[in-house]
Structure 1
Amino acid sequence: MSIIDTSPESANPLLSLIDLGHRARAAAGLDELAFLLVNDTRLLVPYRQSVLWFEQGGVRTLSGVLQPEENAPYAQWLSRVCRELSRSEILSSRRVGPADLSPEVAAEWSEWFPAEALWIPIAVSAEHPGSCPGGLLLAGEIHFGDDSLILLGEWLDSWRHAWLARVKPSGWSFSLMGEKGAGRSSQGKWWQRRSSRIGLGILLLLMFPVRLTVLAPGELVPANPAVIRAPMDGVIGQFHVQPNETVKAGQILFSFDEAPMGSRLQVARQTLETAEVEYRQLAQMAVSDAKSKGQLAGLIGKIGEKRAEAEFLGSQFERSKVLAPQDGVVIFDDPSEWIGRPVQTGERVMRIAHPNEVEIEAWLSIGDAIPLDDGAVVSLYLAASPFSAVSGQLRYISHEAVPRPDGSYAYRARARLGDTAAGPRIGLKGTAKFHGDWAPLGYWVLRRPLASIRQFLAI
């Protein structure tokens, strides 16, 4: 309800102007403001039709209509009329008619409008980025006098102030960007602005050269170990050394269960002796018996077969005791897990390594396989001593990725240690850091995200 009497009996238009301004400031939103402009402006000036139009969006509101239909012929014709009127260089309110329009648009004037109308432009606000040009078009049967133009101008200024206070400009519009750029240019040279200095500082920081580094799980492994494998199929019977024990060359390491091999060797030897006794008997009988002489050749072959079998079993029995081929430290699991366990020929049982011959072994994931030169610096941060790194030089990286126990694929890398190789113990694990070539800090930070995006796009 209006706070001032604005009934038709009220003859003071200034009271109506004050009441309209109050209602515009108290409006809840843009739709209520637009409805107020096209319908209640008749409190100041009588008219028959009214339309609010903006360059962005076209016809916003029509008088007497809750929601204008954009595809209606009347709305489309109004859009063409307002667009042609807004192109005029005259920025003040003026009376318009068919003569102010193109012949195509003016031909339908008499069908929709009376002879004269009033066009009130709504200009863009330099102080409010995101506002767009538009206008209010009024059409009536009476002539719009100069007094009416003054009242409408004052009312439109109040209404426009309330409208812009509720308009939320788009943060990405070209007009807003242009106005921001113009505002910044008025603040002085670009290098004198704080935002420009901060941006330039960040850019220089991203261009700062750093070492391209990657991390990978690593551990200390023997450099040139002697791998002790099972020389034959059998069951391990006894270990003569303990894990991490220092051994000498020729010292017995472990032995197989000798009972099965010993019994087989004894049987083979007994069979060989029986065949030799039989041969001697036939040789005596062959002196007088021609038939026995013919059996000697077959028996000689049988003796050779039994002798070869006995010799093979004898060599196997001797190999059942495995000796150390060199000095060093034996590396293997708990002996109780091996005793009584059947093994196959060639199966690895233990390793013998020199305690001072240690290398770094690491597994580079496929995403971290950066270019690395031979001799590149590799630092291993052991889990047991995270504050001191073991340094080494890259010796080689495998060309093919191999599967890991966790199901991933990685490249095996080996790095020889420096002078501090005698300190760390074999088997210690940690994180290996590979140092590559120099690269900008921005590339170092964005390398993995860019690689993921590149693989995702696959273009």
Structure 2
Amino acid sequence: MPRLAAPAPRPDADSLRPTSVQLIRIEGELRQCAAKDALWQHLANEPVMLLPFDTALVFEAGGGRRRMRWKAVAVSALAQVHRDAPMTRWYEDMVAKAWSSTQGATGVYLFELSAHADLSDPCADDAALAHLMWVPLVDLGQPVRAGWLLARRTPWEPAHQTLAARLAAAYAHGLSAIEGRAKPPAPWRRHRIALALAGAAAVLALVFVQVPLTTLAPVEVMPEAPFVVAAPVPGVVERILVAPGTRVSEGSPLVQLVDTTLRSDFEVAGRKLGVARARKLRLQQAAVVDPTAKRELAIARSEELVARAERDYARAMLEKAVIRAPREGVVLYGDPRDWMGRPVAVGEAIMRVADPGRVEYRIKVAVADAVNLRENASVKVFLDAAPLAPFDARVVRAAYRAEADAAGVSSYVVTARPVEPYVAPERLGLRGTARLYGEPVSLLYYLLRRPITAARQWTGL
């Protein structure tokens, strides 16, 4: 039965003296081999001085560790191996069976010819060397890349095993010096199948997993449907009566216009009315005895009505010199000093009065970051004053074309309103960042949208 050779006992020093000289010579010569073919020829022929073999063959390994394929590359006493020779194929099959039976063991293996040879093959009749020794060439930490088969007529001795193992280690080291040491496989190579499956799952997830297309844009809290306070008459602003952000009630005075002319017109109209009343009273008294006065009384009454109308108009215009709040709310405008002494025309907006509980979000989406938005699209608002307390909102309208702001950036103006109308920021004018959710797209498109857009802009495809 084939067996793995047991560790051989160490030979005596006297008996190994000539052997040591030959071993040193062989190890020195193999270091001079600069090519792998020269190394194999040296291995197949030179060690015969130490190991009395009849035939030696050198094999190179290929394939995996368990299903190794062995190729004869050198034969003793031959300058070249004939790959098509039946005897070469026969030895290769026998070495493959011996390697398989030892399950890839790296120690010296002694066996008889009948253990692994195909005795029905005609080559078996020509093989008179029945005692074989298989020696894998193993370098420290390297896989088995070659093997050495020695055959002779008589059984091998334990000392031969020790020398064969020593020589195999030396030649394996020489092979590593010529070809370089094989690097250990990367850790990921041990899990290639798992990594391939994970990669395929990731690709499928990128293609089939749907995520909403989102974009970030600056946002500002604005009042919803504020009342615009405009100048009712042409004039000059004398002073603003309330500070910005002041909460006012309906009818509270907001703006004082210069009323010198209006007050003068009101006083003149009042005096005209007094004159008309006095003339009417005189004619009423004279009409008792004077028919002419009776006729003029009708004209005096008409003049009194005209004077009263002029006075009422002048009073109404004078009252408009003080602009009052049309409803309860918060006053919104800029610096009061910008309005002092400023002339205004009829209908020119001065300030706004808004309900602080009814707000909307004004979002400026840059053209480069625009996504397809539908009505009632979701919006998440993160204000700078409270970044950990976002507000939920819905899109109510979006501009159909982009407009450039003061900085020259073209943006689409999107208006959103809170989902819960009574949940609003603490004050108007706060700024922050809004995340807008567009149509669902594949995760792959979501990740590659910007690179694709940049590539199309650069290439025009």
In the superposition, the TM-score normalised over structure 2's length comes to: 0.48
> Larger C-alpha radius of gyration, 1 or 2?
2
